[in-house]
């Protein structure tokens, strides 16, 4: 594929995921139109905020930094308007598509993904909101603060909500941020990885949640505390190392190990690698183009598998195709939209090195007998 074809393909995948969801929400028909696949009936309380927050989290950099002219610029403006309309509807108590920010523990998670979208796109997704929509969004996020997150990666969800409130100019809880950051420092297990709570789990939560949120919370708030500023270089080194590991996990054919829980988040398993590319924070031995080519290969392999989408364009539970047996009890249709986070580099301009030329990724070169750099653990 040529460079422009890759970007066009990524935009095509974004459109497949975003169009049904955002159009339904804009018409206040998300509850009517979105199917609710999953093992447990209680997910209808949560699935709509899951879908919207996770999609927003992935496409926010493109909404914020995408082109302002040409065909893609027109497309981006349409989606920016749809996103703002979605926030307006989702946080309006009078709307039939008003989302659940206050009932149960799960809204802490998905309000945090929406908050992360605000952190990634504050101008488009907050500043440009109407005064009423701003106030409703603030109140919705604040509703999550009367519950306690679980003692694992959920601490970062609370911290991300506080980070968004900081960006919005609202009062925010430093203790929730400090607790999350310092507890994850205690949970660092080495070589760029953190355990998810007191015990390490071999899964993709370092990429689904932990590393991307740590990086962006520290980046946003490090000036607010000497402790956090001191922590920033360590978080950065670990993030860079973990991105290197992630790139090496992609096989020559665009496959990666099917291991751990929440595997139905599909290529959301590479949110962290995508974020490091977006933020120009890859290891110097990694060419941005090789990351793009690797992620494109993964994306094609997963999203082109038959039965990934239903007949109306909604994602179905599965890793590669429709595999409902892989969905844990907490998985529903809305959960699946975390796969949109692989699209973060769309926030880079078309002229960025990420979108330029072709390059083979590490395992593709290694399995063809070509020269590759030696891997080395982070000491």
Residue pLDDT, tens place only, 15-26? 999 999 999 999
Which domain CATH number covers 215? 1.50.10
Q: Torsions phi, psi of 136, nearest 5?
A: -65, -40
Q: What's residue 40's pLDDT?
A: 79
In a domain, 375, yes or no: no
Q: What's residue 299's pLDDT?
A: 98
226, 215 in Cβ contact below 8 A? no
In a domain, 376, yes or no: no
Q: Note down the domain range covering 249.
A: 3-366
Q: What's residue 379's pLDDT?
A: 86
Q: What's residue 140's pLDDT?
A: 98
Closest by CA position to 182, among listed 214, 205, 144, 149: 214
Distance of CA 295 to the CA centre of its chain: 14
pLDDT tens column, 179-202: 999 999 999 999 999 999 999 999
Q: How far apart are CA 7 and CA 379, in angstroms?
A: 36
pLDDT tens column, 30-40: 999 999 999 87
End-to-end CA distance of the chain: 38
Which residue in the block uniquely carries the two structure tokens 């980046």? 219
Q: What is the mean pLDDT of the chain?
A: 97
In a domain, 99, yes or no: yes
List the beta strands (DSSP E) in 216-345. none
> Over pLDDT 70: what percentage of the chain?
99
pLDDT tens column, 97-129: 999 999 999 999 999 999 999 999 999 999 999
pLDDT tens column, 208-223: 999 999 999 999 999 9
Q: What's residue 4's pLDDT?
A: 56
The total domain count for the chain is 1
Beta-carbon count within 10 A of 207 CB: 25
In a domain, 343, yes or no: yes
In a domain, 85, yes or no: yes
pLDDT tens column, 41-75: 888 899 999 999 999 999 999 999 999 999 999 99
In a domain, 236, yes or no: yes
Under 8 Å CB-to-CB from 226, ≥6 apart: which residues? none
pLDDT tens column, 285-343: 999 999 999 999 999 999 999 999 999 999 999 999 999 999 999 999 999 999 999 99
In a domain, 292, yes or no: yes
In a domain, 379, yes or no: no
Q: What's residue 292's pLDDT?
A: 98
pLDDT tens column, 220-253: 999 999 999 999 999 999 999 999 999 999 999 9
Element (H, E) at 70: helix 70-90
In this model, does residue 1 exceed pLDDT 70?
A: no
> Over pLDDT 90: what percentage of the chain?
97
- DSSP letter string over 87-115? HHHHT-TTSTT---SSSSSHHHHHHHHHH
Section 142-150 average pLDDT: 95
Q: What's residue 41's pLDDT?
A: 80
Question: pLDDT tier at 3 (50, 70, 90 boundaries)?
Answer: very low
């Amino acid at each position: 594929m040529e460079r422009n074809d890759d970007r066009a393909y990524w935009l095509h995948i974004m459109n497949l995921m975003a169009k049904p969801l955002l159009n339904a929400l804009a018409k206040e028909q998300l509850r009517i139109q979105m199917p609710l696949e999953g093992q447990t009936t209680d997910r209808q309380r949560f699935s709509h905020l899951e879908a919207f927050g996770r999609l927003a989290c992935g496409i926010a950099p493109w909404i914020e930094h995408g082109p302002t002219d040409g065909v893609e610029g027109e497309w981006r403006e349409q989606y920016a308007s749809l996103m703002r309309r979605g926030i307006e509807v989702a946080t309006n108590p009078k709307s039939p598509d008003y989302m659940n920010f206050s009932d149960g523990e799960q809204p802490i998670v998905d309000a945090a993904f929406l908050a992360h979208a605000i952190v990634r796109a504050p101008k488009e997704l907050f500043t440009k909101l109407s005064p009423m929509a701003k106030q409703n969004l603030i109140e919705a996020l604040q509703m999550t603060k009367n519950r306690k997150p679980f003692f694992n990666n959920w601490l970062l969800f609370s911290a991300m909500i506080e980070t968004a409130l900081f960006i919005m100019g609202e009062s925010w809880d430093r203790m929730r941020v400090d607790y999350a950051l310092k507890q994850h420092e205690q949970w660092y297990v080495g070589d760029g990885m953190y355990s998810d709570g007191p015990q390490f789990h071999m899964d993709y939560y370092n990429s689904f949640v932990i590393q991307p949120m740590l990086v962006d919370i520290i980046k946003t708030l490090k000036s607010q505390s000497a402790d956090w500023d001191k922590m920033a270089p360590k978080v950065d080194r670990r993030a860079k190392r973990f991105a290197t590991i992630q790139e090496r996990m992609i096989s020559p054919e665009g496959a990666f190990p099917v291991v751990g829980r929440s595997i139905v988040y599909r290529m959301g398993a590479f949110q962290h690698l995508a974020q490091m590319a977006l933020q120009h924070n890859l290891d110097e031995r990694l060419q941005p183009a090789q990351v793009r080519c690797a992620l494109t290969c993964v994306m094609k392999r997963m999203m082109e598998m038959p039965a990934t989408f239903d007949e109306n364009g909604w994602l179905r539970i599965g890793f590669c195709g429709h595999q409902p047996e892989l969905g844990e009890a907490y998985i529903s249709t809305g959960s699946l939209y975390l796969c949109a986070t692989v699209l973060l580099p769309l926030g880079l301009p078309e002229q960025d090195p990420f979108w330029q030329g072709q390059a083979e990724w590490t395992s593709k070169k290694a399995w063809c007998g070509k020269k590759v750099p030696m891997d080395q653990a982070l000491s």
